[in-house]
Structure 1
Amino acid sequence: MPRLLISCGEASGDLYGAELVRHLRERVAGLDVLGLGGDRLQAQGASLFAHVRDLAVVGLLEVVSHLRGLRAVFRRVLDEADRRRPDAAVLVDYPDFNLRLARELHRRGIPVIYYVSPQLWAWRRGRIHELYRDAGVPVTFVGHPLVSLVHPAADPLAFRRDLGLDPDRPAIALLPGSRPKEVAHNLPPIAASVDALRAARPDLQFVAAVAASLDPSVVRRGLRDRPVTVVHDRTHAVLSAATAAIVASGTATVEAALLGAPMVVVYRLSPWTYRLGRRFVRVPYYAMVNLIGGRRIVPELIQSDFTAERVRAEMLPLIDDTPARRQMQSDLAAVREKLGGPGASGRAADAVAPFLNGKNIDTSLLP
């Protein structure tokens, strides 16, 4: 029986990993899948050693407090790899954990495929394909899996009505992050931004999109009695129905770009984590949309810049049909083009399947 070890430590990785496994099952008969992931990967028949809700940790100092648990999970994965001997391992993003895991699996002679490139460019200058070429690592570009996975609401105005919102009034989507620590840091200034925006524009409506990996009651408590509709596990529908969005930096910014939602990108970490981490960052932007576009397409309000007043100032020009809104929508369309066409998960499965079927494997580097 062909066996695949997969390691996903975050909600986005669980999504990408589940789609990869779905396509692999069409190519590899009797595939057995085991490893780390979330509800989506489990729904694809994977046997999980740990769940992403217990693995997703944000920040250097926050990781320290979880080291004992993470080490136990790490050892469990290696013990199971020794016992069950997978034919290959697919490690999805989550570099602090997965790069160490890759080294140990390589020592055991297990082929390792890294899906979603680690963000090497964030701390080392140079074009990504040059970094891999110089290291002698075979690499192929399959495109971004979200291109096929992001779908708008069938009828955005009807979706608003179903939520009890007025389809004729502007609606602002609130995306505080997909991990509990992200929400803990980002939700208070987002809530204050709701107050500031309501004072400037009483006609605004607000919808908080809660990630599938989170308990929506946490977001409801954080928003207190503010008039915000909370929606669980319907992020794409919310973004497609929104006039604009306040989005925590991360995968959600790519989802918003794919749906053409004008946005203000925000993020806040613990002060010590930010001070320690910023010295290693070697890129001019934090938001994926800006990194993909190679310039400032959406405003970034990070750490001390993330205040209610700054959010209000950046958001107000994006609500009505203004030149700023039209320019951002045009720039987001250009970002969508750079992400490649649909079918990334299928192409990734084509690359992984030979390792599981025992066929010849093309390890040539792309130019």
Structure 2
Amino acid sequence: MTDEPLQPSKPVRVFISTGEVSGDLQGALLIQALQRRSQTLGIELEILALGGDRMEEAGAKLLGHTSTIGSIGLLESLPYVLPTLKVQQQAKQYLKIHPPDVVVLIDYMSPNVAFCSYLPKHLPQVPVVYFIAPQEWVWSASSYNTDRIIGATSKILAIFQEEANYFKRKGGKATWVGHPLVDRVQAAPSREEARSSLGIPSDQTAIVLLPASRQQELKYLMPVIFEAAQQIQEKLPQAHFWIPLALEKYRWAIEQAITEYGLRATLLDSNQGQTTLQAIAAADLAITKSGTVNLEMALLDVPQVVLYRVNRVTAWIAQKILKVSIPFMSPPNLVEMKPVVPEFLQDEATVENIVQEAISLLQPDRRQKMLADYQEMRRAVGEVGVCDRAAQEILDLL
């Protein structure tokens, strides 16, 4: 596609489907890039979406709100089945009447893989792009989902090189564009700016706690993270904890837990301009759930301890019946396929393990080793301009 202005007779309709907090963030970054690129090309866009507040603020018309619908695990997902089906049905009905010119699927594995079955049958003329595909290249036990993704998509925009290689080997049309967080961290303040804006004294050890972006994580992760924090503050009187609020509905539970565990902690409120990016940039250390935010921390040179837990029944079914084997869970480790950051899953996610690693990572030698590994990892997540490259690939299909 050239930069010659186009004169379409009507707006180009883009439908984006994603869910959860991380998908909403990545969807918003992509929408901003699509708008930048479309203005250059003289294209008017109409963006419809399943997503959240960030995407709506970026200019999408929401057909359903999905940033609070999501979980990891079998039993954990049951409460979200009906809400997910409901918003998907609403979207399908709308798209039948107002067919899009292109569909973009972002992460959100089960609902979007279901779209991969639906779209070729009901909207066969509409090109489909999968941006941030499920991590089939890491833990796929069969080719079922891979085949559905490849069969439905005109393009797979991979965030990791190995992901692109995997889908190409399977017959997919995959292009490596890099990870969108490479773009996001360009807006991060420096450590000094972040600490100044949050009022963090120079002699204070600032530790970020990220216990939950999903409801289930309040139950399975927050107690062990907060108990570990309690023990850390007994050992380090100069420590203070900073907790970004992922969703407003979690405020009460987190405030209650801060009081219960007696933590010297500040809950950061995005409504007051206090952002997760700001907290991470200011931190000496993070204790965090596994997720996209782990890569954000790595890109900002913040040492971290990662953990994840699900229902014991879910874990048993995954290990014993489904034979799921996960070499690593956190993105920094997946990029390099080596333990860049310490991660503790299920029974290993104990208070003792977390405290030991946290104290260790506050020592200069251990910190420098992790920062060196981060530097090596950066080469594998792409150069700045990820979202603009993704936007161009999408608009090329038009």
TM-score, normalised to structure 1's length?
0.90
What is the SS of the residue equivalent to 2:72? coil
Stretch deviating more after TM superposition (330-339 or 124-133):
124-133
Q: Give the corresponding residue for 1:285.
A: 328
Q: Does 1:229 align with 2:266?
A: yes
Root-mean-square deviation over aligned CA pairs: 2.1
- Conservation of the 8 A alpha-carbon contact between 1:161 and 1:167: no
Secondary structure of the equivalent of 1:150? Answer: helix
Query: Residue in 1 aligned with 2:150?
Result: none
Q: 1:123 aligns to what? A: 139
Give the fraction of aligned pairs with identical amino acids, expressed as a percent. 32
Structure 1 residues 54 and 205, CA gap change in structure 2 (3 angstroms): closer
Partner letter of residue 264 of structure 2?
A: P
34, 49, 65: which one aligns with 1:35: 49
The answer to whether structure 1 residue 198 and structure 2 residue 214 are counterparts is no
Distance apart, 1:158 and its partner CA:
5.1
CA contact (8 A) 2:21 2:68 kept: no
CA distance in 2: counterparts of 1:133 and 1:219, whole angstroms: 44
Structure 2 counterpart of 1:333, from 338, 358, 375:
375
5+ residue gaps, structure 1, are 359-367
User: SS of the counterpart of 1:143?
Assistant: coil
Q: Write the mapping of 1:70-85 to structure 2, written as runs, cut at 5 A.
A: 70-85=84-99
The 2-side partners of 1:83 and 1:53 are apart by: 25
Of residues 297, 305, 308, the one that matches 1:256 is 297
Structure 1 residue 302 and structure 2 residue 345: aligned?
yes
Q: Aligned ranges for residues 1-367 of structure 1 at < 5 Å?
A: 1-28=11-38, 29-107=43-121, 108-109=123-124, 110-124=126-140, 128-151=163-186, 154-157=189-192, 159-211=194-246, 215-224=250-259, 225-233=262-270, 234-278=275-319, 279-321=322-364, 323-355=365-397, 358=398
Amino acid at match of 2:382: G
Query: Could you say what secondary structure the match of 1:326 adopts?
Result: helix
Residues 98 and 112 of structure 1, relative CA distance in 2, 3 Å threshold:
same
- C-alpha deviation, 1:254, in angstroms: 0.3
Other structure's SS at 2:287 match: strand
Task: Give the CA deviation at 1:216.
Answer: 3.2
CA deviation vs aligned residue, 1:107-143 (integer Å, no higher than 9, x gap):
1212110011211023338954454234322111111
SS of 1:6's partner is strand
Q: CA deviation at 1:249?
A: 0.4
The one-letter amino acid of 1:180's match is: Q
What secondary structure, in the 3-state scheme, does the structure 2 residue paired with 1:171 have?
strand
Once the two structures are superposed, residues 268-321 of structure 1 have per-residue CA deviations (whole angstroms, 9 ceiling, x without a partner) of 212112222344433321221111122111111112211221111111111132
Kindly tell me the number of residue pairs found equivalent between the two proteins.
355
**Cα 1:138–1:252 shift into 2, 3 Å:** same
Aligned mates of 1:351, 1:236 — CA distance in 2 = 28
Which whole-Å CA distance do the structure 1 matches of 2:241 and 2:169 have between them? 48
Distance 1:54 1:283, change over 3 A: closer
* Deviation at residue 208 of structure 1 after TM alignment: 1.2
Helix, strand or coil for the counterpart of 1:144?
Answer: coil
SS at match of 1:73: helix
User: Which ranges of structure 2 fall in alignment gaps of 5 or more residues?
Assistant: 1-10, 144-161
Return closer, same or farther for 1:236/1:282 CA change in 2, 3 Å cut-off. same
TM-score by length of 2: 0.83
Stretch of structure 1 that moved more, 215-224 or 168-177: 215-224
Letter in 1 for 2:79: S
**One-letter code aligned to 2:298:** A
- Is this contact kept in 1: 2:18–2:27, CA < 8 A? yes
Q: Which runs of 4+ in 1 moved over 6 A?
A: none
Answer whether contact 2:211 2:225 (CA < 8 A) is retained.
yes
Deviation at 1:203?
2.1
Question: Does structure 1 conserve the Cα–Cα contact (< 8 Å) formed by 2:23 and 2:67?
Answer: no
After superposing the two structures, state which structure 1 stretch, 120-129 or 86-95, moved more.
Answer: 120-129
Higher relative contact order (CA 8 A, sep 6+): 1
Q: In structure 2, what is the Cα distance between the partners aligned to 1:87 and 1:153?
A: 34
